[in-house]
Structure 1
């Protein structure tokens, strides 16, 4: 308790002690060796002091009973006082150094305790205070988190999204609207307000928070935090300024911002993210809901996989799994028999690759009762080199090397094979795309 007092309070005893030391040491020295002027004459008061010349010399005999007068020179006295001052100063410095070190040590021990003064409330809707959130939202902390996801204060989300104003909606998804949130002058994030109060929606929310709290990769979106306010749930992601791949390809711009090389870069990024899930996670993770709307693009068109609400491990996927996902991206064996493996993600990747190549949606409505799959429509033409250039998205048509076009088409055909064993591993797909992407975009192609 004493260490919490100001320094000047506990230093008073030190100064008192030091002053006494300074006073006592010289007095003892003076008492032991008094100056010449202070020594009383041994002669009787009635006698006159003999002149200086009568003081007996060394050769003269001295009267018995008379003490010898010892002459103390001022230089010797000054030296002794100086030594006493040095000793006292050293002692004082040592005491001060000891107390300073003790104070610093005490402060360091108390720092971890201070962080416990604001424990997380049991009510999930209250979250943490502003300080830890802003600290976590700095870029260095984004690429350096270790599996923990912050519980964010609901009032913060209200303030950052301007009460979830419709002007801040950046995209509309089946699971909920995504809002642009401004947390300070230098940091923006995306806030997804989830719909649905049924148990499955709650389970998906918990699954997303759990997976994205553990999965850390440059091509998997960063989950910065979450919030639960009564029956409403919120997810806070890093800001992806270019929106989703679906919006870029099938939205108002119709893919005009996606050049051939950018599309190859997007395909490479998705393959890298899947390779991390399938090959580097133990046990392997199956995304289970891979589609263009779940591929997000940052300001430099770097692609990141998002939405892990349906993700599962390959260990759990060995048994028959309940059908979930988006029509048009579901692998045939999963759609018909509920068999889910990493090759199911490879099939979905092949569908996204066809979207990038052709510019069409995975399922298109031909009539009120007839829908056509991009796989069914494209497969006969992908293997015909004479027809292939004519089905390429007009935005990128005639902008690529035909040899590269044939190679991408061949990979797409392999990925969407009806038989899972015929589909390649995502690692093989990844290596096939590296030579197609320019060096400055993360590949090995020298343009």
Structure 2
């Protein structure tokens, strides 16, 4: 008889070991080996099974926090069983609709639960989430400005979402299914679909979206189904022509033009639009034959070769026969065109050839005028090796039969001249006018001075007061008047309530000046850092209002203007305040001659507004503007300068000092501007800090686009219930000041 260990696993919280006796044969060594093996097995099982529930319960803290915020934003609905506003274990407690893998939440399916409220603001931390389905509910507001970044399926259909599609979707390269149908989305589509090459289904139907389809739709290389019906889209659908679509519905929009031939062989629904009747015009010269990118379908598809009832079979002519006819027509047309061109070329040059036969060969020499003519035509026509005096214009036949056969017209189009863009609705001032209005640019009228130039207060005979920015000659030399006119034209087209309006310009005698509207309350920098008895501190509501207005201005420059405009000089000195303390962003559109010298970059970096990547590379982007805006928000929150050498070393850089404390509510309340005297809602303060933390992240790809910043601040205002009556208190805090720092590039 030999002893053997027997494992009793009937108890869940401990492992008991019992001795038993079994019949055993063999040597003593074999018995010892068995004993050791079984003891090791026992230890492993005890480790794994001692507290099985504790392993399952370890939900990632960031995932748990995001779901708690979501639960609260959905108004804590009772139908979400097991959910808890204080719960920390969605995976272990089997919260309704939640699927986990290990400690991470991978799926959220809350479809058809009659949910209301909003989506919260913390879903971006769910980095393992691949499927988010909140369809068939009554959730409203804007779609959350930061969504889980690695989603494969997103379904928010049949809700009450407004505004537009958040820009963060453009970064979801793993997204395969996107359904936002049956909502109240209104904004035009932003050109943001270039990286969504995995997307196979896009459903935007039954909304109120307007505008033309974005060109980045052409990058949807995996798309098979697209539903755009029942919106207000305009323009053509040509951008969809070469997509590998199987199903396309564009009914009940405002599309026009012709339906591309490539789309007529798929399941296509086009009723309820203003399509042009009659045959479509021929493609532009040089356009290759129309082809459609087809995806490799799995077996079982209804292709003609498989005997399916494909669209091509309904006409009774196979697609191969149609292709043969088209090719035959093209070949015959090409041959006819060739002989016509050849005959015309011979006829037009025969007289010139006879003259040349009577002239001796000459070396290749050209007059200056002939050299210019050669430069104009060298990229299009073959070079000649003889003098073309006496108005001789010998050209060989065009090598590309797709090009225009009208040679004279083509020669005219080959000459490209830069057109002077005249400013629209902007007054042209003379130097004499501006000298009179500024007292010959008297120092007493100086409002500010920066790297672009000085800014003066100008009072005209009719009593109107404006601000005149005199551009430094080092920034824009006097001989570049054409470039200055182009800049004026571009800036004159910027119209937004939160952007300082350009009302005029002057370009005389090598001098370049810009004339702007005047804001008597000066700059935000003055209000925050130069407060005096005439300038009372800003209340909290005013600060949020200024942040939101400035964010809207940047959203306009980044996402409405085409092409996008990078401001490059966001700072509190360039945010001017009117009598109602509404912000107006100055220097917009002047990035064309923003200085890029090392000295300027060093100054910007030391001022504390510049993003880290700009300091290293000198390259400004939309995301560097977002960083600078985050610094301005920090100024509004703390009342501190972005860089203050008078403080201790650890507190000189506002971003470095403040960022680690933005998510600690106790530390946050100690950071707040003392001038507020504690008069602010703590929740509003916390959410304001959350937006700052997103904007000033070190890596630019993690900063949100300005449209999402606007959405976050709008929600903050809505939650704080900041009515117009509340804004009325702002006027009590405002007091007229003598002028505003129109330029303000270099803060004093």
Q: Do both share a fold (TM > 0.5)?
A: yes
**TM-score interval for Structure 1 and Structure 2 normalised by the shorter chain:** 0.5 to 0.7
- Structure 1's consecutive aligned runs of 4 or more residues displaced over 4 angstroms after TM superposition are 198-208, 322-325, 366-371
Q: CA RMSD in A?
A: 3.2
State the SS of the aligned residue for 2:454.
Answer: strand
Give the 3-state SS of the residue equivalent to 1:284 in structure 2. coil
Equivalent in the alignment of 2:455: 178
**Alpha-carbon spacing, 1:206–1:360, altered in 2? closer, same or farther (3 Å):** farther
The match for 1:157 is 434
> Which one of 678, 684, 687 corresponds to residue 404 of structure 1?
684
Among residues 344, 361, 365, which one is paired with 2:641 in the alignment? 361
Does 1:276 pair with 2:556?
Answer: yes
Partner Cα distance (2:569, 2:602) in 1: 8
What's 2:709 paired with? 429
Aligned partner of 1:285 in structure 2 is 565
Q: Deviations over 1:220-260 (max 9, x none)?
A: 11111111343433221001111111122122439734211
Do 1:362 and 1:374's aligned partners in 2 also have CA atoms closer than 8 Å? yes
- Measure how far apart 1:368 and its partner are: 12
Give 1:302's match in structure 2, choosing from 582, 585, 603: 582
In structure 2, what is the Cα distance between the partners aligned to 1:275 and 1:353? 15
Matches within 5 A, 1:220-239: 220-239=499-518
Secondary structure (helix, strand or coil) at the match of 1:395 reads helix
Superposed, 1:13-412 pairs within 5 Å as: 147-197=424-474, 199=476, 208-253=487-532, 256-308=536-588, 310-311=590-591, 326-327=604-605, 328-366=608-646, 372-412=652-692
- Please list the CA deviations of residues 194-244 of structure 1 after superposition, one character each: whole Å capped at 9, or x if unmatched: 334354796996675243112111111111111134343322100111111
Report Cα offsets for 1:405-429 as digits up to 9, x if no partner: 0000111011000011221121111
- Cα pair distance change 1:441/1:197, threshold 3 Å: farther
Alignment: residue pair count: 291
Match of 1:92 in 2: none
Residues 168 and 180 in structure 1, CA contact (< 8 A), matched pair in contact too? yes
CA distance in 1, matches of 2:653, 2:503: 36
Q: Counterpart in 2 of 1:7?
A: none
Post-superposition Cα deviations, 1:53-111, rounded to whole Å, max 9, x if no partner, equal xxxxxxxxxxxxxxxxxxxxxxxxxxxxxxxxxxxxxxxxxxxxxxxxxxxxxxxxxxx
- TM-score, normalised to structure 1, is 0.59
2:565 and 2:589 in contact (8 A); partners too: no
Distance 1:406 1:151 in 2: 48
Does the aligned pair in 1 maintain the 2:687–2:716 contact within 8 Å? no
Change (3 A) 1:335 1:402: same
Per the alignment, in what secondary structure is the counterpart of residue 285 of structure 1?
Answer: coil
- Unaligned runs of 5+ residues in structure 2 are 1-421, 594-599, 728-748
CA contact (8 A) 2:423 2:489 kept: no
State the Cα deviation string for residues 253-293 of structure 1 (Å, max 9, x = none): 39734211111111011110011111111222111111111
Higher alpha-carbon Rg: 1
8 Å CA contact 2:452–2:472 kept in 1: the answer is: yes
Q: Is the 1:245–1:295 Cα contact (8 Å) retained in structure 2? A: yes
Equivalent residues of 1:343, 1:420 under 8 A apart:
yes
SS class of match (2:506): strand
The CA distance in 2 between the partners of 1:251 and 1:207, in whole Å, is 37
TM-score of the pair, normalised by structure 2: 0.36
Deviations 1:170-215 (A, max 9, x none): 3333433322211234421111223343547969966752431121
Give distance in 2, aligned partners of 1:343 and 1:285. Answer: 12
Counterpart for residue 63 of structure 1 = none
Counterpart in 2 of 1:68? none
2:407 corresponds to which residue? none
Q: Is the 8 A contact 1:241 1:298 kept in 2?
A: yes
Distance 1:343 1:237 in 2: 27
**RCO comparison, higher one (Cα < 8 Å, 6+):** 1
Tell me, in whole angstroms, the C-alpha distance in 2 between the residues paired with 1:442 and 1:233.
Answer: 43
Distance 1:174 1:251 in 2: 21
Query: What CA deviation, in whole Å up to 9, does each residue of 1:113-152 have, x standing for no partner?
Result: xxxxxxxxxxxxxxxxxxxxxxxxxxxxxxxx98443220
